Amino acid sequence: MPRYALKIEYHGAPFVGWQRQTSLPSVQGAIEDALAKLEPREHKIAAAGRTDKGVHALAQVAHCDMDREWTPFRLSEALNYHLKPHPIAIVDCAAVTEEFHARFSAQERRYLFRILCRRAPVTHLAGLVWHIKPDLDVDRMQEAANLLIGRHDFTTFRSTICQSLSPVKSLDELRISKVETDAGTEVHFNVRARSFLHNQVRSFVGTLEHVGSGSWTPADVQTALDARRRDACGTVSPPHGLYLAGVEYPVDPFHKSKHIVSLQ
């Protein structure tokens, strides 16, 4: 069966998350339903990451198997037509070999988290950023974030319902920057690793926000990491500031020069 890689952008607010669930709207379910309009049968697609309820994607990657040959452009156009009015877009499509697997072939995943710091309520960016009123000390947050980079037991920073066999993961990057926009000051977290635990990025962000606002010190983050207990974690950030920003493979399935997706 011909296999195709899909690069997908979506707004996570209307969905219970990526994974298909009975009688509840999901990103996976919407795409599989659109595929069924093209080739009437049950479709099962696999994705690089299963985003949670309310989490967005700038460049999720999934693959699908079709019964007949499609030109990638025609397949993406047909899917986008049948995905209306869902806030989901197939932004790229490529024919790949049967050896390609969106999840298991991935070498790296990148996430972006956005905090908007301003006193005024959020209007146009509602549901797209975590809105907090105080300014954040980015330098102190980065000092604390550096303690999390490397290979650690991240029990403190994973959900109690995480299904990963081990809490030990390697974190390659956790870079925090301040970005001035017309809407106000945003703080961006760029996070990179081969794989992540459930709620790991949101746990990092919520904990580091405590450091930025002055209620925690970087040493408190080290203590939380060493505790290896979920109750040692700071507040878990809300999902709507989080974006799956990109996935890296040994060979770029979309045959384009690689770039890091960012809002900076």
Active site residues: 52
Rounded Cα distance between 242 and 87, Å, is 16
Question: In angstroms, what CA-CA distances link 125 with 116, 119, 128, 129, 133?
Answer: 9, 14, 5, 6, 15
Q: Is residue 8 a contact partner of residue 61, using CB atoms and an 8 Å limit?
A: yes
State whether residue 127 is helix, strand or coil.
Answer: coil
Q: Is residue 49 a contact partner of residue 102, using CB atoms and an 8 Å limit?
A: no
Number of Cβ atoms within 10 Å of the Cβ of 76: 21
Closest CA to 29 of 94, 82, 97: 82
Number of Cβ atoms within 10 Å of the Cβ of 191: 25
Retrieve residue 161's tokens.
């319902």
Closest CA to 14 of 51, 45, 44: 51
Please enumerate in sequence order all residues whose Cβ is within 8 A of that of 134, keeping only pairs 6 or more positions apart, or say none: 117, 213
DSSP states of 170-195: EEEEEEEEEEEETTEEEEEEEEEES-
Q: Is residue 41 a contact partner of residue 18, using CB atoms and an 8 Å limit?
A: no
